Each structure stands twice: as structure tokens, then as C-alpha cells.
Amino acid sequence: EIVLTQSPTTMAASPGERVTITCRASSSVNYMYWYQQMSGASPKLWIYDSSKLASGVPDRFSGSVSGTSYSLTINTMEAEDAATYYCQQCCSLPYTFGAGTKLEL
Amino acid sequence: EVQLVESGGGLVQPGDSLKLSCAASGFTFSEYAMAWVRQSPKRGLEWVATIIYDDDSTYYRNSVKGRFTISRDNARSALYLQMDSLRSEDTATYYCTTHRTLWFGHWGQGTLVTVSS
């Protein structure tokens, strides 16, 4: 089973600040997927194929990869971005998720 | 607009059975693979099972294999999860999702399953 390790577990950011969340895979994966979950709501697909924004996602978000390390970056933090973000690997059963990064304002 | 509405959750005892349903609308259900994903505070998000378009191919996580059965009724645009021999560790909110091979595109609001004596 591929284990995804997210860091940090929690973090606080101020409006306008640049934020980076990292997800490391225990084995090589072709792509990484990111989900945003607001408090009390269902997860939403946020980034697919490592760097493509899902429909309706603001372009201050971006995704990137460096080796087996995947990142989600918010160029300038906004209040509405406070949520928990999860990464998910696509390519080896069982599909697995990271433990999440709680981003607070 | 894609809508996925789960139902059937509740409080059951260890060893009991429960059947979850998911009513889908807003897309051509028969053209999509579908999945169940669960979430609990202890275990986080866990993929449970996937069924391909035509019901012939199903996939399960090891911990539910032999106890859970995923099925679909394309005529009714409905997805099901039959859960037998339930354990305390199956306690979670269960989400119905579209499964675009590599990612989980749309999610329902979830239905809570609690397994406790």
C-alpha cells in the first residue's frame, strides 16, 4: 500500500501570505490529486493530474511535483481558503489518501 | 448539475448488516465508474470499493473484501453498498463518488454508519 505523508498537519496563514502544502509518496506514482474539505462538508476535487485545477478553483492555487514530492500552493491566501486539504494517489490499489493538512486563517 | 444522495446509514451492532444506497442524477450514470469512500476521525479518508460501468468489475480494499458488496442499477441510476459482518472499525461517514479512473470527481453529502454495542 502506498503511504502518503502530508506536511504540515496544521498551519495558520494570514491573508496575502503564500502557502505550500506537501505530500510525499512512499513509492512512485504518476499523478497526485488534491481535495479541499470545508468544515462539515464533503471533500471536493481541487487539483487533478498533479497540476490541473478542477472546475471553479481560483487560479491562485497551483500544483507541482518534484520527484516523489507533490505540492499544493496558494499564491496569496484568502479567508475562503481555510479548509483541510488531502492528497490522493491514483495508481496503485488500494487508492490511498494523505491524513490531511488543516489550513487555518 | 451532478447530484449524489446517500441514504441507509444508522446505528447497528457488531456483526449486523446494513445496505447503503446512492441516488445519482445530473449525468449519464451508466457511463461512469462509481465508488464508496469513507471517512472517520481515526482513519481519515479511505477508499472502500469501486464498480466499473457495466457491473462486471469490482474492486475492494482488503479489510472489507468478503464482507462488503458494491453493486449498481444503471436503469435506476443507483449505487449500493451491502455491508455484512460489520465491525466497530467500519464506523465512518460513507460517501458515494464518481470515480474517473484516477480520481474521485463528485461526492455526495455522506451517510453516517455507526457500529457499536
User: How does pLDDT run across B17-43, given as a tens digit for each residue?
Assistant: 999 999 999 999 999 999 999 999 999
Nearest CA in chain B to A3: B46
Closest by CA to B49, choosing from B85, B4, B16, B82, is B82
Query: A42, A53, A57, A96: which to substitute to probe chain B, counting the most B Cβ within 10 Å?
Result: A42
pLDDT at A38: 97
Give the model's confidence band at A17: pLDDT under 50 very low, under 70 low, under 90 confident, else very high: very high
Q: What is the dihedral of CA A11, B104, A50, B63, to 10 degrees?
A: 80
User: How does pLDDT run across B57-100, given as a tens digit for each residue?
Assistant: 999 999 999 999 999 999 999 999 999 999 999 999 999 999 98
List all residues 6 or more positions away from A93 whose beta carbon is below 8 Å from its beta carbon: B59
- Kindly state the DSSP code that residue A67 receives in the 8-state scheme: T
Give the model's confidence band at B15: pLDDT under 50 very low, under 70 low, under 90 confident, else very high: very high
pLDDT at B55: 62
Give the model's confidence band at B56: pLDDT under 50 very low, under 70 low, under 90 confident, else very high: confident
Nearest CA in chain B to A42: B109
For all residues of chain A together, what is the average pLDDT? 95
Of B61, B102, B107, which has the smallest distance from its Cβ to A44's Cβ?
B107
User: Is the Cβ pair B102, A35 closer than 8 Å?
Assistant: no
pLDDT at B101: 79
List all residues 6 or more positions away from B65 whose beta carbon is below 8 Å from its beta carbon: none
